Amino acid sequence: MEKTVKVGLLGLGVVGTGVLEILADHQEKIEKSIGGPLVVTKALVRPEEDKQALADKYHLELVTELEAILNDPEISIIVEVMGRIEPAKTFIKQALIAGKNVVTANKDLLAQHGSELVDLAREQQRNLYYEASVAGGIPILRTIANSLAADDITEVLGIVNGTTNYMLTKMVQEHRSYEETLKEAQALGFAESDPTNDVDGIDAAYKMVILSKFAFGMTITMDQVKIKGIRGLAAEDVSIADQLGYTVKLIGSTIKQDDTISVEVGPILVPHKHPLASIHNEMNAVFVKSSGIGESMYYGPGAGARPTATSIVADLMTIVNKMKKNTVGHRFTGYTQPTKITPPSENISKYFLSLEMPDEAGQFLKLAEIMTETQVGFEQVVQEKGDGENARVVLITHETSETKMLTIQQEIKDKTSYKILSLMKVMGE
């Protein structure tokens, strides 16, 4: 039996506790795979936290100062599961400088400061792994970095936020409002009391920044991602989309055109027969289009203590294997390319446009004029029966550029009294 590999844990919340559980429950298989025991010996907690029962159960020491872990020469790997940017960023940097390898599930941190941390790990000849930061239990980063290494990926589309997917599933299947489904998601613990990061698409955007690096080797900043959430999405529009053959999903996309990519998060109309339309409730999926394999989809739980911890422990085991072979220090993904963003004039899609306009003759003509002037055709129109005052008109355009859709929005604002209720991209078949 080889020497025990000792791990320090930063944060003993949902995922931290999951890591202890997975290490204990799957101990025998883990030991057989890596040739020896892998144990958490110390966990950093806040002074006021009472985690003694957990510490006793898993035979570990609770500490309240990072130094107690950094200065322990027996600890070779640190798992950061505290969340947020600071002090997590400083702690990870200190850990790498102290010669520790690091595993983290922190998507916010990786999306915003990933390059700096990855470069530091490389300089220090240490490993930094973060499989759990994207889609929790789905092994998508390793799959793209290893199994798809030889493939030419053209698109990565993801349902990577479980909270919003749960809400949209209920809106589509049970015809419930945005507000009702948000309350239910909060009551079930899927959505936090401040749901901003989920409903405004920010959480999904963090994950698309990380996926863009793995799929296309490009380092994207958050301000290069076009982000739109589902806040206030009308149940009526979700239902009309359904009648037209589409399911509304919050999709994170990173799409390559020549040597540029376009990275977006937003509610999108997904054709009913597309595999992503069948991802329900809080589940996640990542759909990849590539020239070698064609289409592939990776499905599973995007969060939760045990799924997330399973990805973290797999990262730990990868590092142990590298330590044994003396190959520690390589990046999680080595693929790097210059970052180039697709200009809006070349970002092409069909669009779903829902408008409220006065319920009177001649109103639709104004819209038709604007569309003709901008040279954007439409393939489907639905006019809902108005209430005598206002009527809802929904149309699906032919393929057009983002630039032209921006012009149409501006013209509608300048030349009509219509209210734009929603504007969403429509995914091709």
Ligand X SMILES: NC(=O)c1ccc[n+]([C@@H]2O[C@H](COP(=O)([O-])OP(=O)(O)OC[C@H]3O[C@@H](n4cnc5c(N)ncnc54)[C@H](OP(=O)(O)O)[C@@H]3O)[C@@H](O)[C@H]2O)c1
Residue 8 assigned ligand-binding role = no
Would you give the DSSP letter of residue 278?
G
| Binding track over 57-96 against ligand X, x by CB under 6 A | ------------------------xxx---x---------
Identify whether 207 is a catalytic site residue: yes
Residue 428: φ, ψ to 5°: -70, 165
Report the half-sphere exposure of 365 (CA within 13 A, side-chain side): 3
Query: With CB under 6 A, what is the number of residues at the site for ligand X?
Result: 21
Residue 16 assigned ligand-binding role = yes
Q: Which of 41, 106, 254, 310 binds ligand X (CB under 6 A)?
A: 106
Long-range pairs, 99-102, Cβ under 8 A, ≥24: 99/124, 99/126, 100/8, 100/70, 100/75, 100/76, 100/126, 101/76, 101/77, 101/126, 101/127, 101/128, 101/129, 101/319, 101/323, 101/328, 102/77, 102/78, 102/126, 102/127, 102/128, 102/129
**Under 8 Å between Cβ of 45 and 51:** yes
Q: Which stretch binds ligand X (CB under 6 A): 104-112, 237-245, 315-323, 387-395?
A: 104-112
Q: Which of 127, 308, 333, 397 binds ligand X (CB under 6 A)?
A: 308
CA distance 412 to 357: 11
10 class by beta-carbon count within 10 Å (0-12 exposed, 13-18 middle, 19+ buried): buried
Closer residue to ligand X (CB): 13 or 358: 13
Q: Which of 11, 139, 158, 267 binds ligand X (CB under 6 A)?
A: 11
CB of 174: closest distance to ligand X in angstroms? 25
Closer residue to ligand X (CB): 304 or 344: 304
CB of 257: closest distance to ligand X in angstroms? 31
CB of 77: closest distance to ligand X in angstroms? 16
Closer residue to ligand X (CB): 282 or 356: 282
For residue 368, CA distances in Å to 80, 184, 364, 378 come to: 55, 40, 6, 9
CB of 163: closest distance to ligand X in angstroms? 11
Chain residues in the site for ligand X (CB under 6 A): 11-16, 44-46, 81-83, 87, 105-107, 132, 136, 303-304, 308
Active site (catalytic) residues:
207
Binding positions for L-homoserine are: 192
